[in-house]
Each structure stands twice: as structure tokens, then as C-alpha cells.
Amino acid sequence: MTLDEMQNVWSEMTEKLENQKQLTDTLIMEMTAQKFRSKIGKISTFESAGAVICFIAAIFLAVNFEKLDTWYLSASGVVVIGYLIFVPFLVLRSIYKMKGINISGNTYKQSLIDFAKRRKHFLLLQRTAIILNFVLLVLILPVSSKIFKDKDLFVDNADLWYWYIPVMLLFLIPFSKWGYTSYKNMTASAEELIRDLQTDPS
């Protein structure tokens, strides 16, 4: 197939579509009545569900915070609650911003730049979250153990740390490495797109 042939096929399709005119008034207006979907669809379901779980966990920890009766358990509790609130909040904010591009006013170029920049920001956030997950997984164990079983793992079961951290790292490192590399590659391609688009002097 040559470029001319592509052009011919395209013109033929345009002509066929022009002759068809399939949409009815009702069908078109039904498509516009999607405000419900649009409102829910503003933020991705997966991230929203994750955020709700994190917020519930944060509230639960806050309610039971008095059980964390040593300075190190309190400090761990503060870090875990902070993580459970701020990380999902920042991720959701980032997604929301990505969806908030001016579809009507922007040119194609501007939308591509805006989208690539916001995507880059989102990916950087995801990369940071991967690293922070390690901290969370270390701290959540003593905090939850104290709240649920009234057991201070730093004192009562110090041996646990010798196997818990290596086992956790064994599972987490390959997964995180894969996730981190994927996000890194996607960020790089977003950066490349921004660079390319910004070379046009217009």
C-alpha cells in the first residue's frame, strides 16, 4: 500500500460515512446525558477504591492512637497515618489534574504538552510511592500488632525483625524494581514528547 492508496481509501471511507448519516436525534441526545458517568469517571475507580481503604485505615489508626503508648510506636503511628492520608490524596489530585485539561480551548499541541507534563508528575509520584511503600511495610507491623494484640514488637518479639525484613524485601524488591523501571520508562517517554513539542517555536 502506498501513501496515495491510503489517501484513496480514506476518501472512500469519508464518502461512505457521508452517505450513511446513521445517528438519530434521540441517539445523540442520549450520548449527552452521561453526566452521571462523567462525574464518577472523573477519578479512576482503582485509585479511588485504594484511597478509600487507606482513609478508613487512617481513621481506624487515629481512633486507636492512644494504644500506641511509647514514643517510637507513636512516631511509627504518625508516619503510617501520614502515609495513608497524603499518598492517596496526592495520587488522586494528580489524576484529577490530568483529567482537567482544557479540551475545548486548547490546541492539540497544548493538550499534548499539558497531558504529558501531568502524566510525568503522576509517574514521579508513583515512583516515590513505591519507595515509601517499604517504609510503610516496616512500620505497619509494630503499629497493628500493638493495636490489635497489645504487643510491642520492638520489645516482646525483637527476633521477628531478623526474618520479617529480609522476607519482605525478597518479595518487594523484584516487584518494586519492575514497577519503578516501568514508571521510569514511561516518564522518559513523556519527557521526550514534551521536549519534541516544545522545539516548535510557534
Point out which residues bind another protein (CB under 8 A): 1-3, 5-7, 9-14, 16-23, 25, 27-34, 36-38, 40-41, 44-46, 95, 98-99, 101, 103-112, 115, 119, 193, 196-197, 200-202
Q: What grid cell was written down for 67?
A: 494504644
Radius of gyration, CA atoms only, the chain? 25
Dist. CA 170–CA 28, nearest whole Å:
54
CB of residue 57 vs another protein: minimum separation in angstroms? 25
Q: Which of 56, 47, 59, 128 is nearest to 88 (CA)?
A: 47
**40: number of CA atoms within 13 Å, CB side?**
6
Min CB(43)–another protein separation in Å: 11
Minimum separation from the CB atom of position 187 to another protein (A): 14
Phi first, then psi, for residue 183 (nearest 5°) are -65, -35
Closer residue to another protein, CB minimum distance, 41 or 82: 41
CA distance 20 to 8: 18
Could you tell me the smallest distance in angstroms from the CB atom of residue 65 to another protein? 36
Measured from the CB atom, the residue of 70 and 107 that comes closer to another protein is: 107
- When the beta carbons of 33 and 170 are compared against another protein, the nearer one is 33
CB of 13 or CB of 59, closer to another protein: 13
CB distance 41 to 64 below 8 Å: no
27 vs 170 by CB, closer to another protein: 27
Least distance CB 110 / another protein (angstroms): 5
Helix, strand, coil abundance in the chain, percent, nearest 5: 80, 0, 20
